[in-house]
Amino acid sequence: RSRGSHRPWLASYAKVVVPVSVAIAVAMTQHLPLRDLLRPDTYSTDARTDMARAALKAIPAGARVETDITLMAHLTSDRTVYWIGGAPGTAPDIVAINLDFGWSRPIQDPVAYAEQLHPEARYQLKHRGGSFVVMER
């Protein structure tokens, strides 16, 4: 449609707009985290990743779990997941927390913290690996 236009500026604009847009987009992505996808170290695992995986293995499928954002996405496929502190009156089977999450007050005793959230339940430590703690009712 622009090629048959009676406005020559529109035809010249249409010829260069796509290549210029692509060039600008490529130049801008050099400063975004997207470039990290090309680095091999992006896909390497560290000790913290292994500890998180071990914590996930300690949580049985079908369990009702209360957790922070660190493990939440990995638990939703086959467990019922609640945000930590967001399920009052419903004592979950498992409370899983990351002690390095950035709590306003550091958690010294994870079991006492779980029982403070759910006074009607008693929890015991099931797994502890690094900063990841899993407690079972």
d(CA 40, CA 6): 52
Query: Nearest 5°: phi and psi at 14?
Result: -65, -30
Q: What angle do CA 112, 114, 120 make, to 5 degrees?
A: 95
Say what the pLDDT of residue 12 is. 78
Say what the pLDDT of residue 5 is. 62
76 and 93 inside one domain: yes
Residue for token pair 């409370």: 95
Say what the pLDDT of residue 4 is. 62
Radius of gyration of the chain (CA): 25
Say what the pLDDT of residue 92 is. 95
104 and 120 inside one domain: yes
Count of structural domains, the chain: 2
Instruction: Average pLDDT across each block of 10 residues of the chain; the chain has 137 residues. List them in order.
Output: 66 83 85 79 88 96 95 95 88 94 84 94 96 96
Say what the pLDDT of residue 118 is. 94
109 and 88 inside one domain: yes
Q: Residue 51 sits in which domain range?
A: 47-136
Whether the model pTM is above 0.75: no
Say what the pLDDT of residue 41 is. 86
Say what the pLDDT of residue 75 is. 96
Say what the pLDDT of residue 80 is. 95
Say what the pLDDT of residue 77 is. 94
Altogether, the residues listed in the chain come to a count of 137
99 and 51 inside one domain: yes
39 and 56 inside one domain: no
Ramachandran bin of 21, using left for φ above 0, alpha for ψ from -120 to 50, beta for the remaining angles = alpha
Q: Does residue 1 lie within any of the structural domains?
A: no
114 and 75 inside one domain: yes
89 and 108 inside one domain: yes
